[in-house]
């Protein structure tokens, strides 16, 4: 085989593998190795028994309430806040695209199949330190989490004028 054909074949293999990876129905794009040493301080040893789903929390909690909320990380093609321990959390009642028959969405954690109801089924989570400041470390590195990871967060509720919910989380339980 000529050098040109070999190079062309190699490019075709790489392009094919890239295309397959891009259309994969497997979920997360993030590979994590567990929480960082700093992040372990924010992990809860047990799941809060009083946790409620995101949708229920959005309907029930008031500004400054102590709250425990469960859901899955997602709600956007990139549910992370760059350089901060913060992410979007989606109610577990919504089904991500990769769990729907025949759906090959490359970013199933964005819940694009539910865009009409998604705004009322998601909340922002910010992991905060003892002074109430958002930890300046990517949540994926801090906690060892990834897209579609099921978590329970405990902290204080913040509400804005539009009814959006942010949880200033002091602790996170990562569901197995």
Residues 155-165: tens digit of each pLDDT: 999 999 999 99
| 59-65: long-range pairs with CB below 8 Å, 24+ | 61/157, 61/159, 61/165, 62/157, 62/159, 63/157, 63/158, 63/159, 64/156, 64/157, 64/158, 65/156, 65/157
Distances (CA, A) of 41 to 86, 105, 135: 16, 35, 12
**Six token digits for residue 152:** 């329970």
Going along the chain from its start, the domains and CATH numbers come out as 3-174 (2.40.50.200)
Per-residue pLDDT tens digits for 106-160 = 999 999 989 999 999 999 999 999 999 999 999 999 999 999 999 999 999 999 9
Greater confidence, 45 or 14?
A: 45
Q: Which helix H or strand E contains 143, and what residues bound it?
A: helix 139-143
pLDDT at 1: 47
Per-residue pLDDT tens digits for 56-81 = 999 999 999 999 999 999 999 999 99
Please, what is the Cα angle at 104 between 30 and 78, to 5 degrees?
A: 35
pLDDT at 115: 92
């Amino acid at each position: 085989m000529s050098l040109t054909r070999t190079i062309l074949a190699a490019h075709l293999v790489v392009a094919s593998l890239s295309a397959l990876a891009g259309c994969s129905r497997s979920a997360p794009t993030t590979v994590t190795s567990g929480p960082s040493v700093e992040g372990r301080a924010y992990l809860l040893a047990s799941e809060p028994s009083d946790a409620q789903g995101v949708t229920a929390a959005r309907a029930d909690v008031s500004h400054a309430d102590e709250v425990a909320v469960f859901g899955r990380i997602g709600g956007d093609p990139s549910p992370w806040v760059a350089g901060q321990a913060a992410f979007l959390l989606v109610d577990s009642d919504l089904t991500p695209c990769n769990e729907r028959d025949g759906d090959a969405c490359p970013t199933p954690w964005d819940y694009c199949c539910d865009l009409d109801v998604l705004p009322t089924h998601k909340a922002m989570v910010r992991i905060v330190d003892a002074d109430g400041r958002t930890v300046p470390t990517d949540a994926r590195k801090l906690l060892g989490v990834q897209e579609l990871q099921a978590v329970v967060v405990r902290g204080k509720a913040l509400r804005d004028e539009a009814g959006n919910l942010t949880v200033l989380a002091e602790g996170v339980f990562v569901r197995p």
